[in-house]
Amino acid sequence: MKDSEHPFFRPLWRRVAIVAVCLIWSAIEFASGTPFWGVIALGFAGYAVWQFFYLYKPAEEGKAPTEPEPKE
């Protein structure tokens, strides 16, 4: 998850799915009696929320890069 602005993560449903999988994984670990792995999975979910919803800035498609105006 180092490159959170990768084009794969543009659709909202993918970012939500990744967070949901981490939360479900955490719930399964807690339910099966392994709280250590549950806390690790919960940490993954928290990090994913931070990267994909708090810090995420989607790239605007179809917008040409701005070039400085030539000085005359």
Residue 27 lies in a domain: yes
Could you tell me the pTM of the whole model?
0.72
Q: Range of 26's domain?
A: 7-54
Answer yes or no: is 33 within a domain.
yes
- 6: confidence class by pLDDT, cuts 50, 70, 90: confident
Per-residue model confidence as pLDDT tens digits over 10-38:
888 998 999 999 999 999 999 999 999 99
> What pLDDT is attached to residue 2?
59
Domain count across the chain: 1
Residue 3 to residues 25, 33, 51, 57, Cα–Cα distance (Å):
22, 33, 9, 12
For 31-66, write each residue's pLDDT tens digit: 999 999 999 999 999 999 998 888 777 666 555 555
> Would residue 17 count as lying in a domain?
yes
pLDDT of residue 58: 65
Is residue 67 in some structural domain? no
Q: Is 23 a member of any domain?
A: yes
